[in-house]
Chains A and B, each alone.
Chain A
Amino acid sequence: MDRSYLAKRLLHALIIAWGVMTASFFLMRIGPHSPADKYLATLGAGHNVSQVTAAIESRYGVDRPLYEQYFNYINSLLHGDWGWSFSTSMPVSDLIKIHWAYSFQLIFLSSILAIILGISLGIFTAARKNTKADHIATFFSFAGISIPNFWLGMMLILIFSVKLGWFKTYYDTGLPMFSLSNLYALILPVITLATGMVAGYGRFVRSSMLENMNKDFVRTARAKGLPESVVLRKHVFRNALLPVVTIIMLDMSGIIFGGAYITEFIFGIPGLGWMSLKAVFSDDYSVVMAVTLIGAFVTLFFNLVADIAYTYLDPRIRYE
């Protein structure tokens, strides 16, 4: 992997990020909403609605022409300023600093769990292809993929929190981040988020393994007289890993902005997902923009990592 390639990839990423930024910027501004809405509701007699609206819109700078706002936004972004969140009265960067950790711990734990369990499940089922164990595991994988995670979360709460009382019905931010009790509190959310991932990775690893098992080089390896375990571990798994790494990387952003969102919503975890959801509902442009951009960067970052990982794992690309 040469430098110029990396540079080009970064440029590419920047262009995409710019596209995402621009699209979301204008998408949010063409909508009929305004940050002044919430004030309108409380206006009493004698108030001049349009005057107050104008005053509030000017307070937040949304009364300027769109292009001006756009360039201002880019300008402040370039200066490292993510803007002011008017729904929470704090700088967006502070907001993110406080809340990202809640998302991160959830996503990190779920991913680790999903990667370990998913890959094990995949190898297990592939090695026992078409046995009863495989069929059962396959069925559960399908179930795992198909179960809506918001419903799963609710059912976990219903059973384990409401009926059995083993867990709190909400995530308690009061717990110290690095403590067993915090880990315990994250059990249900992690299960909620990880179930689909485990099942998905399991299926994917299985099919990737099976695909590689049919390869000629596996037959060659067997013909060499290698023990089956070595054949599976070395020749099949290492090759099967290639697409798995890519999928996991590409999946990451989807998880963060799909499953994690909903999971945070159900368990009341004040992570970035929940933050941005609330921000959408309060027309807090700068927060939504920031989260969108972070999302885009995360996606692009993981794409890049996937590429680099691929290059690292696959000599055909490494030595191009």
Chain B
Amino acid sequence: MTSEIILSIENLKTYFFTKKGIVRAVDNISFDIRKGEILCIVGESGSGKTVTALSILRLVESPGKIIEGKIILDEDNLLELSPHKMQDVRGNKIAMVFQDPHSALNPIFTIGDQVSEAISAHKSCNKEDASSQATQLLELVGIPLAKERYHDYPHQFSGGMKQRVVIAMALACHPRVLIADEPATALDLTVQAQILDLFLELRARFEMSIIYITHDLGVVSEIADSIVVMYAGRIMEKGGSRDVLGNPVHPYTKGLMGCLPSEKGIIIPIPGTIPGLINPPAGCIFHPRCVNALDICRMERPPMTKITDEHYVSCFLGGVNG
């Protein structure tokens, strides 16, 4: 896949300055996303996936702060835009869908109101236009009887439907990049499948780029074009879907896959737990749980090593042990 790069994140660092210390939630990560691509960010809880997504939209709240890095969209560094300009990016060029559809909608406004609000935030159009566009959007994401349900309140919708509404809001201005933060995790298996289908359909239809955040490797294998594996705020491995899943290099990626039952019905867990981010282990952040850890792993942070053009890994054993 060699279409143009649409959004590029470079050396992003987002820290939280808490009373207990600095939480290095996102610690120097870089990746790109191309037009029409689905990029999956995988990682365990607390690995910094959500913070990464929020950083892209500059929605990290205090005590969090983007320390350094660049987020380049259309040659603009988003981190340097004025707050006003940034507002115009949000929802318009980059939209986001959050994990929990139950809390992502304001309970006291109607569905229609909230969708049309997303439209009128960026397009100057009158109320009727906005509302008819909103109805269309609702139909698009598969809400039956969209017209009638326009005036319903969120609590009258099921979880799956709410998530569709949230997606409709995100699509309001046909953004170029859609960030979806675990959009299906809170939903039932059958509904989850519906939502995944919807995403695939949307991508096909609008040529959007989608950053899909998940910790479910099953989902990843189904939809990802490329994959970023995060662990404790850092990228362990990134690359094309086939490369990463078919030829995982980083011990962590391998470990993650081992946690799923193999054909023989065996799972091999990764020992230990994810480290605290305030005083993270020196060197490679994964070394305490790594069975192959070398001395150097305890001292130095491994650089991103290229394995193929599309496949990078941050490990001193890069490729060696593969």
Residues of A within 8 A of B (CB): 130, 215-217, 219-228, 230, 234-235, 238-239, 242, 313-316, 319
| B61 CB → nearest A CB, Å | 8
Other A-B pairs beyond A216-B103, A224-B91, A316-B153, 11, CB < 8 Å: A215-B103, A217-B105, A221-B117, A222-B57, A224-B169, A225-B173, A226-B87, A227-B121, A315-B153, A316-B107, A319-B156
Is there an interface contact between B107 and A315, defined as CB atoms closer than 8 Å? yes
Q: Name the B residues within 8 Å of A319 (CB-CB).
A: 153, 155-156
Output the residue of A216, A314, A319 with the most chain B CB within 10 A. A216
Count: A-B pairs, CB below 8 Å: 85
Closest to A318 in B: B153
Is there an interface contact between B106 and A221, defined as CB atoms closer than 8 Å? yes
Closest to B152 in A: A319
Closest to B100 in A: A216
A319 to B153, CA, bound (A): 9
Is B227 close to A, CB under 8 A? Answer: no
Given contacts A315-B153, A319-B155, contact A223 B95 (CB under 8 A): yes
Given contacts A219-B59, A220-B166, A315-B153, contact A225 B122 (CB under 8 A): yes
Q: Name the A residues within 8 Å of B62 (CB-CB).
A: 130
Picked from A130, A223, A230, A235, the residue with its CB within 8 Å of the CB of B106 is A235
Given contacts A315-B153, A319-B155, contact A223 B107 (CB under 8 A): no
Q: Name the A residues within 8 Å of B91 (CB-CB).
A: 223-226
Is B320 close to A, CB under 8 A? Answer: no
Picked from B54, B83, B108, B153, the residue with its CB within 8 Å of the CB of A239 is B108
A211 to B297, CA, bound (A): 43
Output the residue of A225, A226, A234, A319 with the most chain B CB within 10 A. A225
Cβ proximity bits B85-111 to A, threshold 8 Å, 1 near / 0 not: 001111110011010100111111110
| A244 CB → nearest B CB, Å | 13
Is B33 close to A, CB under 8 A? Answer: no
Closest to B95 in A: A223
Picked from A216, A221, A238, the residue with its CB within 8 Å of the CB of B108 is A238
Closest to B93 in A: A225
Output the residue of B59, B106, B117 with the most chain A CB within 10 A. B106
Output the residue of A220, A226, A230, A238 with the most chain B CB within 10 A. A220
Is there an interface contact between A224 and B108, defined as CB atoms closer than 8 Å? no
Is there an interface contact between B104 and A220, defined as CB atoms closer than 8 Å? yes
Closest to A129 in B: B62
Q: Name the B residues within 8 Å of A315 (CB-CB).
A: 107-108, 110, 153, 155
Q: Name the A residues within 8 Å of B87 (CB-CB).
A: 225-227
Q: Name the B residues within 8 Å of A226 (CB-CB).
A: 87, 91, 117, 121
A316 to B62, CA, bound (A): 31
Q: Name the B residues within 8 Å of A238 (CB-CB).
A: 106, 108-109
A238 to B114, CA, bound (A): 14
A313 to B100, CA, bound (A): 24
A103 to B118, CA, bound (A): 48
Q: Name the B residues within 8 Å of A239 (CB-CB).
A: 106-108
Q: Name the B residues within 8 Å of A242 (CB-CB).
A: 108
19 contacts between A and B (CB under 8 A): A217-B104, A219-B98, A220-B104, A220-B105, A220-B169, A221-B106, A223-B90, A223-B95, A225-B92, A226-B87, A226-B121, A227-B121, A230-B121, A235-B106, A239-B107, A239-B108, A315-B110, A315-B155, A319-B153
| B167 CB → nearest A CB, Å | 11
Is there an interface contact between B121 and A313, defined as CB atoms closer than 8 Å? no
Q: Name the B residues within 8 Å of A230 (CB-CB).
A: 121
A226 to B106, CA, bound (A): 14
Please provide the chain B residues from 153 to 194 with a CB less than 8 Å away from any CB of chain A in the complex.
153, 155-156, 166, 169-170, 172-173
Is there an interface contact between A225 and B107, defined as CB atoms closer than 8 Å? no
Q: Name the B residues within 8 Å of A227 (CB-CB).
A: 87, 121
Is there an interface contact between A224 and B172, defined as CB atoms closer than 8 Å? yes
Q: Name the B residues within 8 Å of A222 (CB-CB).
A: 57, 59, 90
Is there an interface contact between B169 and A314, defined as CB atoms closer than 8 Å? no
| A84 CB → nearest B CB, Å | 51
Q: Name the B residues within 8 Å of A316 (CB-CB).
A: 107-108, 153, 155
| A235 CB → nearest B CB, Å | 5
Is there an interface contact between A314 and B108, defined as CB atoms closer than 8 Å? yes
Closest to A315 in B: B153
Question: What are the 4 tightest A-B residue pairs by CB atom distance, in nearest-first order?
Answer: A225-B91, A225-B90, A216-B103, A315-B153
Q: Name the A residues within 8 Å of B117 (CB-CB).
A: 221, 224, 226
Given contacts A216-B98, A319-B153, A319-B156, contact A224 B103 (CB under 8 A): no
Q: Name the A residues within 8 Å of B106 (CB-CB).
A: 217, 220-221, 235, 238-239
A223 to B110, CA, bound (A): 18
Q: Name the A residues within 8 Å of B166 (CB-CB).
A: 220
Q: Name the A residues within 8 Å of B104 (CB-CB).
A: 216-217, 219-220
Is there an interface contact between B96 and A223, defined as CB atoms closer than 8 Å? yes
A215 to B102, CA, bound (A): 11
Cβ proximity bits B136-154 to A, threshold 8 Å, 1 near / 0 not: 0000000000000000010
A239 to B109, CA, bound (A): 10
Q: Name the A residues within 8 Å of B107 (CB-CB).
A: 217, 239, 314-316
